[in-house]
């Protein structure tokens, strides 16, 4: 090959090598080109909702586009998930606790989606999840709750905010030999009123949901389901500390996009989320309401989701639940 041809060949190869880099830079610089929608499976006032609205406000300033939060509760979070999956639009994101879907294969005979239809973007926070009871029940600990349930088998009611917490609570009931009745809610935020009025006697949900009723003296928190105590509730022990390790599941929250989202756009969103969630005033505003702010990369988020799925699988297997095809 002549020197001229070798030089020409080198220039062509070099140009081709630059194409992916230029495409990536172009995708990052052009996104978003229109308003971004955050779809939530939980109602207004939930821990995820409070976080999404503050985060969206900050992201809109970086992106120079509105960030609109849309609450789509119901259907065990499947409504919100399929809304994002079916739209297949990288300007529509799902913000959800991982616990809203990690138990789906154990709670449904079949699923209208595959987990691979969603692309993990970024970890946002770890919601403080509490075990709450009506103040008038007179229970101050997990031990007290067990005694109340054993005294009235099959007569006390329970509810949780997400599917994985449903499975977790069922696992605890089985391990403790207890009989309680589950009360389903389309919008789990509505359960708080029933809890305060002693119509349900145990509720597992984000601290943000029950906090107003706790402050009114109508609801009492007896445990955390998180693996560690929370800075905002230092005197509340974890379930594991009270010999109820079955009631342990962290409130991992993050962002997802459609599987067709480019890695460049995913990485841009993740970097911006991490930036705004580390702002001191954001941390200061969210911590008292029950969020442990802990933004993380796509890989960190994906790894934690897989870990939670393994935990939930063990619970499902322990309950003898047949897993639906994914």
Same domain, 194 and 284: no
- Which candidate, 271, 277, 298, 276, places its Cα nearest to that of 28? 271
Same domain, 133 and 237: yes
Residue 74: CATH number of its domain: 3.40.190.150
Q: What is the pLDDT of residue 4?
A: 53
The DSSP secondary-structure symbol of 102 reads: T
Of the three residues 221, 247, 273, the one that is the final residue of a domain is 247
The whole-number pLDDT of residue 2 equals 57
Which pLDDT score, from 0 to 100, does residue 153 have? Answer: 96
Residues 236 and 274 in one domain: no
Residue 215 maps to a domain: yes
Same domain for 237 and 152: yes
Boundary (domain end) residue, out of 247, 263, 290: 247
For residues 240 and 272, state if they share a domain.
no
Give this prediction's pTM.
0.83
Q: Which residue has the tokens 């890989």?
A: 299
Largest CA distance in the chain: 93
Structural domain includes residue 324: no
Which residue range forms the structural domain that includes residue 70? 34-126+251-319
pLDDT tens digits in sequence order for the chain, 326 residues long: 555 555 545 554 554 555 454 444 555 568 999 999 999 998 888 889 999 999 999 999 999 999 999 999 989 999 999 999 999 999 999 999 999 899 999 999 999 999 999 999 999 999 999 999 999 999 999 999 999 999 999 999 999 988 899 999 999 999 999 999 999 988 877 899 999 999 999 999 999 889 999 999 999 999 999 999 998 899 999 999 999 999 999 999 999 999 999 999 999 999 999 999 999 999 999 998 888 999 999 999 999 999 999 999 999 999 999 888 76
Q: Are residues 39 and 55 in the same domain?
A: yes
- Any domain includes 52: yes
Whether residue 139 sits in one domain with residue 115:
no
**Do the domain assignments include residue 13?**
no
Tell me how far apart the alpha carbons of residues 322 and 232 are, in angstroms, rounded to a whole number: 38
Specify whether 104 is located in the same domain as 170. Answer: no
Is 311 within a domain? yes
Q: In this structure, are 138 and 231 located in the same domain?
A: yes
Tens digits of residue pLDDT in 223-250: 999 999 998 899 999 999 999 999 999 9
CATH of the domain at 133: 3.40.190.10
In whole angstroms, what separates CA 10 from the centre of its chain?
49
Q: Give the pLDDT confidence of 74-112 residue by residue, as tens digits.
A: 899 999 999 999 999 999 999 999 998 999 999 999 999
Query: How many structural domains are present in the chain?
Result: 2
- Residue by residue, DSSP assigns 108-134 as -SS-SS-GGGEEEEEEEEEE-EEEEEE
Residue that is last in its domain, among 247, 269, 285: 247
Same domain, 118 and 257: yes
**40 shares its domain with 174:** no
Amino acid 21: pLDDT: 47
In a domain, 194, yes or no: yes
Closest-CA residue to 112 (of 76, 69, 146): 76
Asked if residue 194 and residue 169 are part of one domain, the reply reads yes
Domain membership flag for residue 294: yes
Angstrom CA distances, 35 to 32, 167, 169, 177, stand at: 7, 36, 39, 51
């Amino acid at each position: 090959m002549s020197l001229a041809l070798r030089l020409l060949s080198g220039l062509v190869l070099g140009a081709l090598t630059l194409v992916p880099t230029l495409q990536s830079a172009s995708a990052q610089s052009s996104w978003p080109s229109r308003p971004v929608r955050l779809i939530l499976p939980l109602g207004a006032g939930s821990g995820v909702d409070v976080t999404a609205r503050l985060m969206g406000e900050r992201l809109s300033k970086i992106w120079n586009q509105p960030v609109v939060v849309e609450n789509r509760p119901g259907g065990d979070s499947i409504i919100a998930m399929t809304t994002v999956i079916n739209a297949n639009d990288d300007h529509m994101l799902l913000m959800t606790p991982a616990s809203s879907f990690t138990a789906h294969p154990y709670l449904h005979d079949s699923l209208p989606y595959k987990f691979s239809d969603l692309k993990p973007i970024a970890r946002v926070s770890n919601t403080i999840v509490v075990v709450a009871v009506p103040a008038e029940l007179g229970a101050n600990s997990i031990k007290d709750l067990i005694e109340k349930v054993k005294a009235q088998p099959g007569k006390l009611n329970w509810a949780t905010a997400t599917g994985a917490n449903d499975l977790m609570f069922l696992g605890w009931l089985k391990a403790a030999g207890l009989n309680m009745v589950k009360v389903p809610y389309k919008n789990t935020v509505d359960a708080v009123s029933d809890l305060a009025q002693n119509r349900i006697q145990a509720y597992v949900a984000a601290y943000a949901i029950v906090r107003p009723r706790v402050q009114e003296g109508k609801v009492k928190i007896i445990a955390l389901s998180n693996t560690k105590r929370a800075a905002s509730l230092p005197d509340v022990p974890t379930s594991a500390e009270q010999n109820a390790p079955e009631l342990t599941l962290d409130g991992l929250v993050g962002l997802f996009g459609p599987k067709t989202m480019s890695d460049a756009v995913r990485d841009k969103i993740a970097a911006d989320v991490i930036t705004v969630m580390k702002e001191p005033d954001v941390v200061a505003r969210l911590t008292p309401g029950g969020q442990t702010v802990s933004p993380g990369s796509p890989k960190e988020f994906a790894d934690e989701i897989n870990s939670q799925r393994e935990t939930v699988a063990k619970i499902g297997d322990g309950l003898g639940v047949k897993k639906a095809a994914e």
